[in-house]
Chains A and B, each alone.
Chain A
Amino acid sequence: MLFAAFVTEDGAYSIAVFFSKFFDDRLWGLGCFWGAKCGAAWNSLFLAILVSFITTGLGLSFALVVTRSGFRQKRALRALTVLPIITPPFVIGLALILLFGLSGSVTQFFAELFGTQPTRWLYGMPGVLIAQTLAFTPIAFLVLIGVVEGVSPSMEEAAQTLRASRWQTFKTVSLPLMRPGLANAFLLGFIESMADFGNPLVLGGNFDVLSTEIFFAIVGTQYDQGRAAVLAMVLLFFTLSAFYAQRAWLGKKSYTTVTGKGDAGVHPLMPTGLSIPVLAIALGWALFTIVVYAMIVYGSVVELWGVNNSLTFKHYVTAFSVRFEEEGIRWTGAAWDSFWTTITIAAIAAPLTAAVGLVTAYLLTRQSFAGKNAFEFGTMLSFAIPGTVIGVSYILAFNVPPIEITGTGVILVVSFIFRNMPVGVRAGIASMSQLDRSLDESSLTLGANSWQTFRRVILPLLRPAILAALVYSFVRAMTAISAVIFLVSAEYDMATSYIIGRVENNDYGLAIAYSTTLIFVMLSAVGLLQLLVGRVQIGRRTQHGTENSP
């Protein structure tokens, strides 16, 4: 589907045109080394590498604080992991503008204190970097916490009984065993940064990155689909190279504990020399995150930021006013249209995504067929491909017969399903491989057929996976921007693209009010789904003969 898009489109151009677009100076220029502007490709690459280094480092600090320190408020830190899931991607950028922008509170404060002129330093590389780091650190944390906890405690205890000090243990055993997690967190940070569209758009200024360039190539005055395709290919090339670099770095070494049975130990604490800086970094950053999020809520009830700081619900009224008339309720707010579209499309896409994901997982774990590995790789691929690329390729692919669905709601639903399916697949595979095959078999021998087995035995046990897939796809459908922005139309406008539109018109108040609403809607959606699907209790016997020291 993807490649078809490029083939049909590139076919219309000569090879020479392709190369001229490909080696465009705007893309690969290295001017920034002598004061001019760099090409978008270098900008993107440089930014992505920086962001992934910083987020991995911060994520590791958080994970270490939670698992290896006597720190008390661990639950609060864990709550951080929910944030990136429910936050529309560009909201952080908006909040940063409120803090550090020209009329931002911090900027104003220092300007008054030192009498300096407020500068626009935020717009460009530094702003995007801060915003992306804020947005993606929790993701790195989420990845790393599993890995850091997964390092078998008896490994570390073994090192200690072998006369290694805490610091030596950490350096020679704990850290190397965390390598796969570090690589994963790095890769995720890299891909997310590459694909991020909202923050560079809001904060980028003159700092061009690939994702925004692609956007302007399509919607701007240039309307150059070929250029968009070329840029998308460059972007894709970067992310896939990162994917392979990760594989190469991990190499063939094994990082899993060899035998899975009977680990009863406890993780040792971090060496003191490490714990103090790590704790300081993690707490500092957590505080910063809290301030930023507080800014979002506060910003939504301020008349006009920096100019008139009186409190008002004006923005909420503009966006979500409701009038009660004889024929019923009239949704007069400006945001209702896009809001309902978003909810509808997300609600349609979520169950479909979960279903497709789980069926795929079932096929991958329980059935074997030719090309299974390729199939599995294919499903993961759509995760590694930035949303911007997907958006462009969908436009190119579905703009022409036989399937002409650009501009309809269908294309949105379809793109969400394929974009978010991998999570359903992963969750499904993880829980299905824990369900022993003998469960299926015992059900079959008891006279149930395959379908009844699936429905009565497998499905109930998969409830946690279903929940994860549902929540994730619903929420992602509501917060997605990078792919969506290309696919929306006047009739089917999504909340996120509507907000971006407001931001471009400098209507920050409304944009932030709308974003805040989205955050709360998604919080309640997550809570509601949790209630609906319920929790499964799978009683497992503790392993025979192993005692667990508490």
Chain B
Amino acid sequence: MTDAKIGSKAAPVRFENVSKVFGKEVVAVDNINLHVEAGKLVTLLGPSGCGKTTTLRMIAGLEMASSGAILIGDRDVTKLPATDRDVSMVFQSYALFPHMSVLENVMYGLTFSGFGKDEARSRALDGLELVGLKGFDNRLPSELSGGQQQRVAVARALVLEPQVLLFDEPLSNLDAKLRRQVREDIRAIQQDLGLTVVYVTHDQEEALAVSDEIVVMRNAAIAQIGTPRQLYDAPNDRFVADFIGEANLLTCQIAELEGDTAIIEIEGYRHTLPSRGLPKGPATIAVRPSRLVIGSDQGIAATVAKATYVGVRMEYTLTGAFGQVFAVHDDVDSPLKPGAEVRMSFTDKGPVLLPK
């Protein structure tokens, strides 16, 4: 796979105060600033209608920005149509041309890029080999499986050696088992060739798995940008905390501040964690289900409301004066029974204060 005759002309992408308004009132993207470094895979993540696909289409040149500037490399492409941008895209529906063979599909872009017929053909064959579809050149797209079609779409975009490669929810039409493999393949190709990739998804696990950096979007704006670990361990607000992985949100009091650390208190239970610049007083913490400790001597009083055995672990719903939390526990051999009274505490790096 790595013996690539296909190179890369990876370039950075920069959004400067970009907005997109449909019609008169519908703001799809609201004043976004974004910098995608060359050779990095950046994911646009968010719920439906948050503007992530519109953002991607603006990079492709399929939508024109209403205001602001878009730069690819050093070049201002804000007003440039898709045809003239050095960008290629893998569509959610793959958009393979059904009346052309696999080879013709992959050659399609090359023939418009000034390559001779033979050169285009050999490059297309290289591309097919790269995605592991050697020998499929004369098939029609309708004769391929979903995963194979997907790879043809990737090959078709790759062979153009674009400055930026775009993926629009590439895995959404694949079944669950294939997804893991395809996303690993995409990541491998991206890293081997050093491509700049912008990738849209609404699946947080997929985003965590493939990305160098994740851009979480909400209501046409960017909620937070960071590496997968930053987003998971230190979300900026409730939205990000809840969207990236599951999170229990609890209200607490910041009892003491010492430099960068704070001591919080919930029903008499105290825990030390980074203060993230928050003042004393009421605040909100987010705790991942796996970072709740159940059954220690001290902690917050809670009752087991539900206990579910899911094979690798136990899942519990706990209720108490704080409300309700969801917790997981690795000990499946001696599970807690519903109705049991327990104490709940946090692991060392467990909870995180939410600035907003």
Contact = CB atoms under 8 A, between A and B. Distances in A.
Given A154-B93, A155-B97, A259-B149, A549 B54 contact: yes
A233 interface: no
A528 B329 CA distance: 66
A164 B100 CA distance: 15
A172 B100 CA distance: 10
B108 A259 contact: no
Size range of the chain B interface in the assembly: 35 or more
A503 B149 CA distance: 61
Given A160-B83, A161-B89, A259 B146 contact: yes
Interface stretch (A204-212, A248-256, A508-516): A248-256
A161 B87 contact: yes
A260 B173 CA distance: 10
Interface stretch (A55-63, A109-117, A261-269, A432-440): A261-269
B238 interface: no
A36 interface: no
A304 interface: no
B82 A157 contact: yes
A192 to B, nearest CB: 28
B63 interface: yes
A547 B57 CA distance: 13
Given A254-B140, A255-B99, A258-B98, A162 B48 contact: no
B136 to A, nearest CB: 14
B2 interface: no
Interface in B167-195: 169, 172-173
Interface stretch (B6-14, B21-29, B316-324, B340-348): B21-29
Interface string A256-291: 111111111100000000000000000000000000
Contact of A177 (B57, B81, B99, B113): B99
B4 interface: no
A166 interface: yes
B98 A173 contact: no
A256 B26 CA distance: 32
Contact of B23 (A152, A265, A550): A550
A156 to B, nearest CB: 9
A264 B54 CA distance: 10
Contact of B142 (A155, A254, A262): A254
Contacts of B142: 254, 256, 258
Contact of A158 (B49, B63, B81, B91): B91
Interface in A489-543: none
Given A257-B98, A261-B93, A547-B49, A162 B112 contact: yes
Contacts of B28: 549-550
In the A-B complex, the 8 residue pairs with the smallest Cβ-Cβ separation, listed nearest first, are A162-B109, A158-B95, A160-B82, A154-B95, A254-B142, A262-B92, A547-B48, A163-B112
27 contacts: A160-B82, A160-B83, A161-B60, A161-B62, A161-B157, A162-B112, A163-B112, A163-B160, A164-B109, A165-B112, A168-B112, A177-B97, A177-B98, A254-B99, A254-B142, A255-B98, A258-B98, A258-B142, A259-B173, A262-B93, A262-B169, A263-B93, A265-B57, A546-B92, A546-B169, A547-B50, A547-B52
Given A253-B99, A261-B92, A261-B93, 9 more contacts: A158-B95, A163-B113, A165-B112, A173-B97, A256-B98, A259-B149, A259-B173, A549-B54, A550-B22
Interface of B: 22-23, 26, 28, 48-50, 52-54, 57, 60-63, 81-85, 87-89, 91-99, 108-109, 112-113, 140-142, 146, 149, 156-157, 160, 166, 169, 172-173, 202
